[in-house]
Amino acid sequence: MTLQKRIWDLIVLAIFVFATAFATAPWFAFRALKAAAQYEDVQAIGELVDFPSVRRSLTAQLVVDAPAAKPEAPSLWRDPMSVFKKAIEPIAPPEPKVDRYLTVAGVSALTRGYAPGKAPPASARDESLKGQIRDTLRGPYPGIAYWDPNRVRISVKRPDATRKVTIFTFERKALFTWKLVHIRLPGDERQG
């Protein structure tokens, strides 16, 4: 009877380990993305991020839609200066606002809770064991905003303003493989 009990205990333990690994895999994917961005591992970031999907999600938040009704084009007879001004405006579109979010530094800042370009430099962090423990205890901690078997949303609060939250959406691609497919920015960064 003891052999059957041990086999049963091993089966229960294996089910528990599998369920725990399955449930925590997205959190480990986020931690891997954060570490890859911190150490500038471009290949690892490429494996963890679905760039076309993330670019679409950020573009929808950052690019202001054109007004529904465009103003009437200036008339040469009524406003000749506006016609001249419109003629010499640059033809090239402005630089996309999304690009600064999709750089290694931008992803690193986002995973730490900051907007790109507003995060304190990583060199300002204390790399000693005591400094790493202090940074870990101080936070911010990523939280699970939503979890289902195929999609997980991880929230990161900005350290200097806890009401500003960035949401990372990961989608399951294989049993334990998750990819970042969407980033939702705090409200003050959208449409800006």
Paired residues of 144 in beta bridges:
154
Paired residues of 161 in beta bridges:
158
Do the Cβ atoms of 135 and 125 come closer than 8 Å? yes
More confident residue, 9 or 93: 9
> CA distances (Å), 9 to each of 1, 20, 91, in order?
12, 16, 71
The predicted structure's pLDDT at residue 161: 80
More confident residue, 42 or 64: 42
> CA distances (Å), 185 to each of 38, 63, 92, 108, 182, in order?
20, 13, 27, 14, 10
Structure tokens at 39: 């150490």
Residue 7 has pLDDT above 80, yes or no: yes
**Confidence tier at 68 by pLDDT (50, 70, 90):** very low
Would you call 126 exposed, middle or buried from its count of C-beta atoms within 10 A (0-12, 13-18, 19+)?
A: exposed
- pLDDT averaged over every residue in the chain: 82
| Buried/exposed code over 73-106 (b: 16+ C-beta within 10 A; e: otherwise) | ebeeeeeeeeeeeeeeeeeeeeeebbebbbeebb
pTM as predicted: 0.73
Q: What is the Cα–Cα distance from 48 to 32, expressed in whole angstroms?
A: 8
Q: What is the Cα–Cα distance from 57 to 179, expressed in whole angstroms?
A: 14
**Confidence tier at 129 by pLDDT (50, 70, 90):** confident
**Confidence tier at 2 by pLDDT (50, 70, 90):** confident
The predicted structure's pLDDT at residue 13: 94
81-116 residue pLDDT tens: 777 677 666 555 555 678 889 999 999 999 988 888
